[in-house]
Structure 1
Amino acid sequence: MEEKLTYATAGVDIDAGNESVRLIKDSVKATYRPEVLGDLGGFGGLFALSGKYKNPVLVSGTDGVGTKLRLAFMLDKHDTIGQDAVAMCVNDILVQGAEPLFFLDYLAVGKLFPEQVAEVVKGVAAACKESGCALIGGETAEMAGFYPEGEYDIAGFAVGAVEREKIITSERVQAGDVLLGLPSSGVHSNGYSLVRKIVFEKKGMKGDEVIPELGKTVGEELLTPTRLYPRVCLPLIEKFELHGMVHITGGGYYENIPRALPDHMGAEIDASAWTPQPIFKLLKEWGNVDWHEMYRTFNMGIGMILIVSAKEAEKIKAHLKEAGETVYEIGRVTEGAHEVIVKGGVFDGE
């Protein structure tokens, strides 16, 4: 008798998909804000914009995790990668002054393993809760034959709101403004093509090697999730007039800082103002990477930069320190060429 084909024999398991939803339902519901309408499982997520906004502007951002995912596959560790997906989106909309309201994720897998999906999505949900935004929907696509079994890709998008008069644009920036840096949690989610080439190709590591300078395995260090900045920065946006904000992602200092500056202004960064985490020094040494390339590729220990007036800089630093946050004064806005100059510190010997 000729075999009867089903969706399952083609590699798509609907029952596994239903089990995944069951495993993540409580985590997702824990992120809900009062503005969320309906429940998980609808065709669209419903969100009623709060009446606290008088003249709201919606701000949206989308991103993925990139090749950092390869480490999650290698080490079979999937509970942190969801935070990376959320952080790359909410941090981006934050720099325009927006409060993250809700997030949706898209997860594509080769074969749907409910426990693996649950690990990833629970990480997404935890990061949403930490950022104050609701996870109101998402999509898990089982794409048999497209991705290898055990592998996946994840992306998402965040929507936030800001009062029109509070939108942060480069129009506020002035020559002489101070750049304040907030620490990163490590490499975050950018530059991993170079990281993998250095660590796994050139050095031949497997990820489970304990590195004394790190106090943990190299895999654990490199899978440290991207820091979430909304809880520390939103109070600053409310209380002070920030002239600009910069999320240091792909392109490092040289590409990201100019995005927050007028065309006729640049910035000087004093790299001696802070000490990057040990992983950056190791990547430089292991890969024989020059310092300019390091600051063009990685965050080098600073994940978010605040551009503020010189008059308010001390008040903002005091506010952050009182809240238990570390902050560094790392540079100044300059008049002239639309470029970034990094000097001092590790550059002194070169």
Structure 2
Amino acid sequence: MVPQWRLDVHSKASRLVKSPLHIPRPPRPPVSSTPPSPTTITYRDAGVDIDAGNEVVERIKPLVKRSFRPEVMGGLGGFGALFDLSGKYKEPVLVSGTDGVGTKLKLAQQLNRHDTIGIDLVGMCVNDVLVQGAEPLFFLDYFATGKLDVDTTVAVVGGIAKGCEMSGCALIGGETAEMPDMYPPGEYDLAGFCVAAVEKSKLLDGAKVRQGDVLLGIASSGPHSNGYSLVRRIYDRAGRPADLDLGGVKLIDALMAPTALYVKPILELLGKHDLHAMAHITGGGLTENIIRVIPDGLGLQIEASSIVLPPVFDWLQREGAVPNDDMWRTFNCGVGFVLVVAPGDVAAVSADLDRLGLSHRQIGEVVKAGDGERVHIG
């Protein structure tokens, strides 16, 4: 982490308003030539504890260093982070992405579970840039809170470092901002920023997609980090049954399961197979994400019967009486990542997915677009 500290303190100046009524006043005492000294106010008094921030940096250093790659130049503590691309790519195209984790943060804070929310943050960014065939190179985070709690901050950033390590992506820098009065006690916000690279000749932009291509859906680990405003509403209305058993997994564990990180297995797959396109299923669900990588003139036929809702989604739909259309458009419904594959390559790609431990199934195909909606689920 690069320890950069920012503080915006806005003080309201008092103004004396003169009364319209004349009220006789007693004589004023003589004015001293030496005004009284103001009470000393330190940065700590204003709500910012630099010592706590420095402790966070020292505690996360070993966690961050585990995520470093050979291309990282220099150590921690500089004003800018350095990464050397010169020895790896001939015609590199940089792919960048940024994201947060939505209101899953509220659930993490409510449950005092801070060690995996950073994995979610990394997942939402690296899985996005992966879609274009790019390898995530480095990551930066932004952590903001009203009052810095060292243990909480270290747990959150530790999760970010772990997610980066699992994705082969260096946690190269970040910002920890303590901003009094901006956030209620115990609350914080997170954002992540990722830069990836791909050879220009290998960039996936949807141009290879053809009618008849097959959609292979790869399993998610749960809701990931999407739809949690609805998740929390259903969970609260149900009385917060945290320990409800969902086939051997507690409901709360299923809801808090970190986002699956697809980077390493998918990059290996890309080295062996000519994939036509890929999609990360995030906000907008199955309805709105896959179509983003499908060229104009083509559409999608998704077979609803091929998608069996995992227990956590089944519970959410039943408990919330959520209509099917809303489920498809809000959640990944158990499909976290989608590959668009030529029909003749499906068997070989499927065999490698099995070898890589990625549960998957055929969920539909690319079709010629008709009038009206380009995505049909049924």
For the criterion TM > 0.5, the same-fold answer is yes
State the partner residue of 2:269.
Answer: 236
Question: What TM-score comes out, normalization by structure 2 length?
Answer: 0.88
Pair 1:341-2:370 in alignment: no
The whole-number CA distance in structure 2 between the counterparts of 1:322 and 1:257 is 24
Query: Identity over the aligned pairs, expressed in percent?
Result: 54
1:283 is aligned, of 293, 301, 316, to 316
CA RMSD across the alignment: 1.2
* Deviation of 1:216 (Å): 3.6
**Is the 8 Å Cα contact of residues 100 and 192 (structure 2) preserved in structure 1?**
yes
* Deviation of 1:214 (Å): 4.6
The whole-number CA distance in structure 1 between the counterparts of 2:81 and 2:202 is 27
Cα deviation 1:51-105 (Å, max 9, x = unaligned): 2311110000000011000011110110000001100000000000000000000
The whole-number CA distance in structure 1 between the counterparts of 2:358 and 2:238 is 35
The whole-number CA distance in structure 2 between the counterparts of 1:2 and 1:249 is 54
State the partner residue of 2:24.
Answer: none
The whole-number CA distance in structure 2 between the counterparts of 1:87 and 1:281 is 23
1:121 is aligned, of 116, 138, 157, to 157
**Is the 8 Å Cα contact of residues 23 and 114 (structure 1) preserved in structure 2?**
no
State the partner residue of 2:46.
Answer: 10
* Deviation of 1:329 (Å): 1.0
State the partner residue of 2:33.
Answer: none
* Deviation of 1:323 (Å): 2.5
Mapping of residues 140-151 of structure 1, within 5 Å: 140-151=176-187
**Is the 8 Å Cα contact of residues 184 and 299 (structure 1) preserved in structure 2?**
yes
The whole-number CA distance in structure 2 between the counterparts of 1:321 and 1:225 is 22
State the partner residue of 1:348.
Answer: none
State the partner residue of 1:303.
Answer: 336
Mapping of residues 53-202 of structure 1, within 5 Å: 53-200=89-236, 202=237
State the partner residue of 2:298.
Answer: 265
The whole-number CA distance in structure 1 between the counterparts of 2:265 and 2:250 is 29
Cα deviation 1:223-248 (Å, max 9, x = unaligned): 11111010110011121111110100
Q: Which runs of 4+ in 1 moved over 4 A?
A: none
Q: Give 3-state SS (helix, strand or coil) of 1:159's partner.
A: strand
Structure 2 residue identity aligned to 1:27: L
2:244 is aligned, of 211, 219, 235, to 211
* Deviation of 1:172 (Å): 1.1
Structure ID, larger Rg: 2
The whole-number CA distance in structure 1 between the counterparts of 2:315 and 2:356 is 31
State the partner residue of 1:346.
Answer: none
**Is the 8 Å Cα contact of residues 93 and 160 (structure 1) preserved in structure 2?**
yes
1:222 is aligned, of 255, 271, 285, to 255
Which consecutive unaligned segments of at least 5 residues does structure 2 have? Answer: 1-36
**Is the 8 Å Cα contact of residues 75 and 219 (structure 1) preserved in structure 2?**
no
State the partner residue of 1:40.
Answer: 76
The whole-number CA distance in structure 2 between the counterparts of 1:31 and 1:311 is 38
**Is the 8 Å Cα contact of residues 138 and 194 (structure 2) preserved in structure 1?**
yes
The whole-number CA distance in structure 1 between the counterparts of 2:363 and 2:129 is 23
Cα deviation 1:291-328 (Å, max 9, x = unaligned): 11101100000000000111111110011112332221
**Is the 8 Å Cα contact of residues 147 and 178 (structure 2) preserved in structure 1?**
yes
* Deviation of 1:253 (Å): 1.1
Q: Give 3-state SS (helix, strand or coil) of 1:171's partner.
A: coil
**Is the 8 Å Cα contact of residues 142 and 191 (structure 2) preserved in structure 1?**
yes
* Deviation of 1:50 (Å): 4.6
Moved more, 77-86 or 219-228: 219-228
**Is the 8 Å Cα contact of residues 307 and 333 (structure 2) preserved in structure 1?**
no
1:214/1:68 CA distance change after superposition, 3 Å: farther
Q: Give 3-state SS (helix, strand or coil) of 1:232's partner.
A: helix
Q: Give 3-state SS (helix, strand or coil) of 1:170's partner.
A: coil
* Deviation of 1:14 (Å): 0.3
